[in-house]
Amino acid sequence: MRPLSPSDQLFLWLEKRQQPMHVGGLQLFSFPDNAPDDYVAQLASQLREYLRVTPPFNQRLTYKLGQPHWVTDEHLDLEHHFRFEALPTPGRVRELLAFVSAEHSHLMDRERPMWEVHLIEGLQDRQFALYTKVHHSLVDGVSAMRMVTRMLSQDPAENGMPPIWAMPPRERASRDDGGPSLWRSVSHLLGTSGKQLGTIPTVAKELLKTVNQARKDPAYDSIFHAPRSVLNQKITGSRRFAAQSYCLKRIRKVCEAYGTTVNDVVTAMCASALRTYLMNQDALPEKPLVAMVPVSLRRDDSDGGNQVGVILANLHTDEPNAGERLVKIHQGMEEAKDRYRHMSPEEIINYTALTLAPAAFHLLTGMAPNWQTFNVVISNVPGPKETCYWNGAKLEGMYPVSIAMDRLALNMTLTSYKDQVEFGLIGCRRTLPSLQRMLDGLEEGLADLEAAAGL
């Protein structure tokens, strides 16, 4: 039995009926060569044999003196956690995304280890999918992505590879050296204020005081410029998940033409998609939208572990020209990175804290502050560069499924795999109707940049 860390407790505490706090991943595989038609059903039978569940997947919540602890589940029922399912006719990606949308909307059973793996048959073209769902208090998004990658092999001939719940566990120490994430930042923020979750009203009051002081300070003026938008409303309990792969080569060519980074182009694609989506709803704010982009601030002199920072990326959604928009986004990102380069570690903490404070204040108190530092979260989680296989089945794509929250109704998370950039958009289905149209917006955004660059 071990107690949950304060940040892991936070995910339990923030969870509401309409705001589940689990993360997910969708992996798309093609059948191995010569696989029989009932390959996925056979795979399901094989996976049901992995009854020895390893940490953290055998850990369930329990309460001791009112404090949450992890304890080994002695009655683990694999049938509850591993589910074999099927898509309806005609088994396109559309049906797959509808499946994930529905499943990602459901809360998990807190009386059991909070994970589920759904093996999905019925896809067209001899493909199948795995949708993995883990509560953020058990495994964070970055670690989950790393586990999912560790499950795979670059050798198509390798066999007998266990599923994620039966892999030999890694040392716990490695848990925190993943990439940056919103949640690492938020828990860092709450951590630096030196308070436990028991004193949330105190933390919230402190946040409010700090923010009100900073708003008067011209040095922090740039932080408080996000407009109000439909993205920043209360959410409901049902989700829409949309996912697509985009060709890294095309993105790289745009980078070369404009002298920007891949991340800049990807951010510009998101900006385009948001602009078009909101314009079609007659809901584009006059002032440009601001994205919160978690970044890693590793320095040579750092004593191990990652310093996590956040960049407030002005998305220049008021700029009609796609090329101009990319150039401006690039300049803003460079300035932000530059600003970080000249900051002391204390200044970085202050800056990050102020950036997150309004969102954290809202999450902790449920009250909407009358300032907004960002409208949307765009995160980039690194993925494998080589072609991967799982028991001979080739991984065709992998898409992160993140968390939508009150006042942050959309989360755009992307990862990279081989020559692809993989987007996963998760949002509240009611606040953001037909959000799957943003996939077309991403593609159009890229095409506009290619056209503007004469590619």
Contact between 102 and its own copies by CB under 8 A: the answer reads yes
Contact between 87 and its own copies by CB under 8 A: the answer reads yes
Region of 24-32, 142-150, 198-206, 427-435 interacting with its own copies (CB under 8 A): 427-435
> Which two tokens mark 123?
């896809």
93 dihedral zone (left: phi>0; alpha: psi -120 to 50; beta)? alpha
Q: Which of 350, 430, 439, 453 binds its own copies (CB under 8 A)?
A: 430
Q: Which of 8, 121, 396, 422 binds its own copies (CB under 8 A)?
A: 121
Q: What is the dihedral of CA 143, 72, 187, 12, to 10 degrees?
A: 110
- Site track for its own copies across 122-161, x = CB under 8 A: x---------------------------------------
- Site track for its own copies across 214-253, x = CB under 8 A: ----------------------xxx---------------
User: How buried is 283 (Cβ within 10 angstroms: 0-12 exposed, 13-18 middle, 19+ buried)?
Assistant: exposed
Distance of closest approach, residue 84 Cβ to its own copies, in angstroms: 5
**Helix ranges restricted to H, 281-401:** 322-341, 345-365
Q: Residue 10 in 3-state DSSP?
A: helix
Q: From CA 455, how far away is CA 448, in angstroms rounded? A: 10
Q: From CA 209, how far away is CA 188, in angstroms rounded? A: 18
Closest to its own copies by CB, 109 vs 335, is: 109
Contact between 88 and its own copies by CB under 8 A: the answer reads yes
- Site track for its own copies across 25-64, x = CB under 8 A: -------------x-xx--x--------------------
Distance of closest approach, residue 109 Cβ to its own copies, in angstroms: 4
- Residue pair 293/329 in contact (Cβ under 8 Å)? The answer is no
> Which two tokens mark 305?
């572990």
What positions carry a catalytic annotation?
Answer: 136
Q: From CA 437, how far away is CA 388, in angstroms rounded? A: 29
Strand duo 22-30 + 127-135: pairing: antiparallel
Residue 39: which residues within 8 A CB-CB, separation 6 or more? 31, 32, 128
Q: Integer distance in angstroms from the first to the last C-alpha of the chain?
A: 59
Q: Which of 17, 216, 249, 342 binds its own copies (CB under 8 A)?
A: 17
Region of 24-32, 79-87, 291-299, 302-310 interacting with its own copies (CB under 8 A): 79-87
Contact between 106 and its own copies by CB under 8 A: the answer reads yes
Contacting positions for its own copies (CB under 8 A) = 17-18, 38, 40-41, 44, 75, 77, 79-80, 83-90, 98, 102, 105-107, 109-112, 121-122, 236-238, 429-430, 433
